[in-house]
Each structure stands twice: as structure tokens, then as C-alpha cells.
Structure 1
């Protein structure tokens, strides 16, 4: 069914499917076009609206035109950035970016430490560039993206769910999650730098090409705290022996010395990820417990600081 739908989508770009890249929330294929390679995306139904996906594509295209290394949106043969297929599912195509993923979730970095630190400094600089260029854009009327603000992260109904109600959490874990939630509600202030953010800067979404990095998969992007992008990066590095050095390299590249808030947003991401698991993974998936353990570990460490 998915393959047939992808084949239907490819015709809108006069493309030919070459291989399946990812079959998760979005289904992503590599596609050959007359002008070169592209990524074809079948967007998950019921997550982002057509208006929100169109806004994401507009933003990425504007960033790419400004020289930010992100994938530009490719118009269909009819000039549309977003196509509605026969089933009602949305499809889009984006330009191909060369590179290999920075790493895999849960897998220690195999690169030499110096190279790992240099890449995280480059990633921090890229996030700074992305935020600064975005601040110079005039968003079109009707621009719509989710909100990763205080309510979206630790309000009564966070965007990814009430993480403190996770059914696999023990009473002690739930108590820590609630304490972390309440602490972040106090710390996250409207005076912090906010704007459009990627919101999902995971290793698999960072492509490495030599010493350069680029950023893909803006599916979760939205309006939120800028340092949340750094916290998302660091949430996957908490078990790395060189975590403090990775954190400091990322912060140096971004140009911030606010370690306390970067750590707070790292905690915010680990909490949000617990909420993410609930409607998406089978009840017996081990990721539930590993995400809970990581969030509790991060919370106990962050909350222990004065």
C-alpha cells in the first residue's frame, strides 16, 4: 500500500523511486529526478496539517535560499510544494543533501574525540546561523507550526503528551517527573530567546560531510525556545563519557555561556521524549523504560544543582 502510494506521489515530480530510506512517522524514499536525486516524503496523517507542512516547506526553502545547509523544497510539475494523494495523504519532495548521519541513537560515537567535538561546535554554529537567518525572514500570512513554548513543553497538555502520566513509570519515577515538570515551569520564562526552531536535532537528522554539517527533517519544527535546539542535541549524549566536552563545544559554536539553561532544556527534551513514546510505541517496547530512566537520571542531576 505504501509503495503504491509512493509511486503515485513520484509521478507528481516526474520522478522514479530508487530505495526506501525510512518508514517511521513519515515514509521517506530516495527519488531520481531529471535534475538529480531528491527525497520524497509521505507525511503521516493526523500529525501536521496541510497548512503546517506547507509552512515547514516554505521555511526550509527560505533558509536554503539564504545559504543555510538545509534541504530546499522542490515544486511538483504543477508548481506545488505539497501534493494531496488519492488517499488524502500529503506528499512533498526536497533536495538531496550529501553526507552521513552524525550517529545513531544509543550508540557511542566511533569518531575520535577531537573530531566529535569539532562537529558539535560546527553544529552549534549551524543552529546559530539558522536562528539568525530565520529572524530576518518575514513569515507569510497563514504560517502555522506547533509551539514548543512553556505550555508545549511542561504545561498541562504538552505537545507530545503528559509524560508524568506514562503508564510504565514507577511511583518514584513519576514523582521525579512531576518535580522536574514543576521546576521547569518556574525556570522557563518569556524573557528567554524564542522563535522558530528545528526542535528535533537528533544525530540521525544531522548530516556530516567532511568537516561540514547540515540539518534535515523539520517535521517537528515550530515556535519555541532557541536553546531547546541545543538541549535536543545533548539529550542523546547524556551517557557519553565526554558529555561535558560535547556540551561545551556545542555551546561555544552557538555562542552561549548559559550552561544552566542549556542543561534545563536538555532535561525538557528528555521529558518530552517520554511523552513521545506513549502513543507511538508498543507497550512492551524497551524504549519506554530506557527513556524513563534517562529522564529521571537527567532530572536528578539538574535538580540537584542549586
Structure 2
């Protein structure tokens, strides 16, 4: 039954219903309040206490009562942006607290870049709560700003910056251009109001549209070909790139895969089909066989973006620009190739592969090898 109440975040009159948590939530047994705040926050969910009649967790309401109007507005606008990107948000007190803390981090971080009259907002796409991305607007420019997760290695972050710089310098691939702070450093450290120390990086804005928003007519053969060329250049650079000693990124190898499979098999809420379960349990052996056959030489295994999905490629002045490199690491090049080509139709794939092979060759049996990496998508 639909009822009415004041939105706990923004205070406007809203509709609400009481529902069960989705299976993927941290505790599917908990009821949730679905809040339909059409004009401001859009739609979100709040954790509820189950007995005897479900009611919103009082700690959530107490926390929202404790913050000021500026923080409330930030949470409301952030919720709206995430909902507008077709994401689900279920808030508990911790999630709201983290968002309010990130507002404090962002407010302190923008001051490190020496701009006046700065405004910022959360990027709704993806809504990575541990590596929050902000859009920052100044009087004369726009930037993106990444608030890295607590405890992140500074060398790991510096490695992202190094790779982005090198993409342009050595491969002539336009991508995020790191921006130094007032002290000249690309990686800034902040700890506002005694919050734990975190690192921040900022990047020049890339004007354009993400590939996933283009119409079919805009996805021309030449553009598809340029996607293949871009990925080919990335991998060719990786084959020969000399890395500094401090360069640190994860390896997507068998030691990474095994725990991923174990975790996936232990998820009670996942209702795998018999076919999916068979594929999942076979992944370690199949991956080990790939390693035995292909090895991990730099001709097949090197730095990969790992998330070259269409929403992570901006088309700017007709050229594809990869963004969002938080998953950058060492893995098989086919991971990148599949992550992008898997979103193309058969004709587009042919053009994409032709573009890639203008830069570097593909294994003769690459389509057969794709089957393994496609099945890894279950994870």
C-alpha cells in the first residue's frame, strides 16, 4: 500500500511503500522503505526495523537530523544523480555517514587546487562508494576529482597517474589528464576534521559523449575502427613500457581468480543454474590451462584497463578516450578486447578487430579464448 510522509532527506512530501530487501543486499531479511521523492531525491530505499511493524531504522533518522542543510542538499542531489543513472540505492546509517564524510573530504580537497567559487557534485555513473568520483566546476573550467578509498597505496595511485600520462605521451591516446595541486603534486593527501587520511587526484574534463549514449547512426564504421586502434595502441605500449620501481597495480592472474571463485560459490543469495555453476567451478582449471599454453609474456599479458565498457569511453572530437582506470592492472590483453567488443554487434566486431590488427596481431584462436573470459563475467 502506498502511503505519504515527509522525505527523510529533503523534507518534501513523498510516497512510500514497505518492501523486502533484494536478494543481493547485505541482509535480505531486512525490510526497507521505498521512498518515491519524484521532484528531488528520486527513488531510494532506507533500512527498516522488522518487528512488530516495520519502521525506518531510528539511527538513520537521528543521523539525518544531526547534519546541516548543506550536507542534506548534497545527499539529496547525490541520490538524484545516482537514480538518474538507473542505479539502486539502499541506505543504512553507515552509507549516509560515508556520503556525508565524503562531502567533507571533497570540500577540503577542492581548496588544494587553488580555485575560487568552486562547486562540486557526485558523479552518478557507477557510484563507487569507496573511490568516489566528483565533478568539480570552477569559474572557467570543469574537472573530475577522485577521492580514493581509505588505506589506498600512494604508489598504486601514482601508478594510475603515470599510466594516464604515458597513454598520451607514448600511444597518443587522449585520456584523463592529471592536474597538479597548488604544491605541484599530482596526488594530494587530506584529513579534514580529524577524519582518516585519504588521497585525492584531479583530472581535466574531457568534453564529449560516452559511447553508450550514441545513436546507431553515430556509431559509424570509422568510429568502431578507431576503438580497435585505440585498444591496440594501449596494448602495444604495454608490451614495451618500462615501469618505475614504485609502479604498483594488481595482477589479474590465477592467484586473483581462485579467491574470486571461492567467494562467488559462497554467496547464498546467488541462484546459479546448473550450467552457470559448472562454468564457475571450471574456471580455475581452464585459466590454469590458458596460462600453461599462453604463458604470461608481454606479448599476451600486460597492463590492461579491465573496464573498457562503453560508459567508460568518451567520444571527444570524433576520437575515443578511455576513462575511469581504477581497475588498471596486469592481465591478459584479451580481457580488454572482450570487455569492449562484447558490446558490439557481429558486423561492428569485425570492424573493431580489423582496427586492432592494424596495430598489433591477435592470437589465431582468440575467439575460442574469449569463451573463458566471457564465463569469468559470472564473477
Deviation at 1:181, TM superposition (A): 4.2
Deviation at 1:146, TM superposition (A): 0.5
CA contact (8 A) 2:280 2:378 kept: no
Deviation at 1:80, TM superposition (A): 1.4
- SS of alignment partner, residue 133 of structure 1: helix
In the alignment, which residue of structure 1 is the partner of 2:206? 97
CA contact (8 A) 1:228 1:262 kept: no
In the alignment, which residue of structure 1 is the partner of 2:83? none
In the alignment, which residue of structure 1 is the partner of 2:108? 8
Question: Any idea what the Cα deviations from partners look like across 1:48-69, whole Å, max 9, x if unmatched?
Answer: 4222111111221222334321
Q: In structure 2, do the counterparts of structure 1 residues 266 and 201 end up closer, same or farther at CA, with 3 Å as the change threshold?
A: farther
Q: In structure 2, do the counterparts of structure 1 residues 266 and 197 end up closer, same or farther at CA, with 3 Å as the change threshold?
A: farther
TM-score, normalization by structure 2: 0.61
Question: Any idea what the Cα deviations from partners look like across 1:117-173, whole Å, max 9, x if unmatched?
Answer: 443321110111122234443211211000123433x4x224x87434443143613
CA contact (8 A) 2:176 2:205 kept: yes
CA contact (8 A) 2:279 2:375 kept: no
In the alignment, which residue of structure 2 is the partner of 1:299? none
In the alignment, which residue of structure 2 is the partner of 1:197? 304
CA distance in 2, matches of 1:101, 1:132: 24
Bigger CA drift: 125-134 or 164-173? 164-173
CA distance in 2, matches of 1:270, 1:43: 30
CA distance in 2, matches of 1:28, 1:207: 16
CA contact (8 A) 1:41 1:92 kept: yes
Map 1:112-131 onto structure 2 (within 5 A).
112=217, 115=219, 117-131=221-235
- SS of alignment partner, residue 224 of structure 1: strand
CA contact (8 A) 2:143 2:205 kept: yes
Pairwise CA RMSD: 2.7
Map 1:118-157 onto structure 2 (within 5 A).
118-152=222-256, 154=257, 156-157=258-259
In the alignment, which residue of structure 2 is the partner of 1:217? 324
CA contact (8 A) 1:231 1:262 kept: no
Q: In structure 2, do the counterparts of structure 1 residues 164 and 260 end up closer, same or farther at CA, with 3 Å as the change threshold?
A: farther
Deviation at 1:18, TM superposition (A): 4.0
CA distance in 2, matches of 1:118, 1:195: 27
The answer to whether structure 1 residue 178 and structure 2 residue 281 are counterparts is: yes
CA contact (8 A) 1:38 1:94 kept: yes
Q: In structure 2, do the counterparts of structure 1 residues 78 and 257 end up closer, same or farther at CA, with 3 Å as the change threshold?
A: closer
In the alignment, which residue of structure 2 is the partner of 1:73? 178
Map 1:27-66 onto structure 2 (within 5 A).
27-32=132-137, 36-45=141-150, 48-66=152-170
Q: In structure 2, do the counterparts of structure 1 residues 141 and 161 end up closer, same or farther at CA, with 3 Å as the change threshold?
A: farther
Query: How many residues matched?
Result: 260
Q: In structure 2, do the counterparts of structure 1 residues 161 and 93 end up closer, same or farther at CA, with 3 Å as the change threshold?
A: farther
Q: In structure 2, do the counterparts of structure 1 residues 176 and 194 end up closer, same or farther at CA, with 3 Å as the change threshold?
A: closer
Q: Where does structure 2 lack aligned partners over 5 or more consecutive residues?
A: 1-99
CA distance in 2, matches of 1:98, 1:74: 16
- SS of alignment partner, residue 259 of structure 2: coil
- SS of alignment partner, residue 157 of structure 1: helix
CA contact (8 A) 2:280 2:375 kept: no
In the alignment, which residue of structure 2 is the partner of 1:246? 348
CA distance in 1, matches of 2:110, 2:262: 34
Bigger CA drift: 214-223 or 61-70? 61-70
In the alignment, which residue of structure 1 is the partner of 2:3? none
The answer to whether structure 1 residue 163 and structure 2 residue 267 are counterparts is: no
CA distance in 1, matches of 2:375, 2:114: 41
CA contact (8 A) 1:227 1:262 kept: no
Q: In structure 2, do the counterparts of structure 1 residues 20 and 270 end up closer, same or farther at CA, with 3 Å as the change threshold?
A: farther
CA distance in 1, matches of 2:225, 2:263: 33
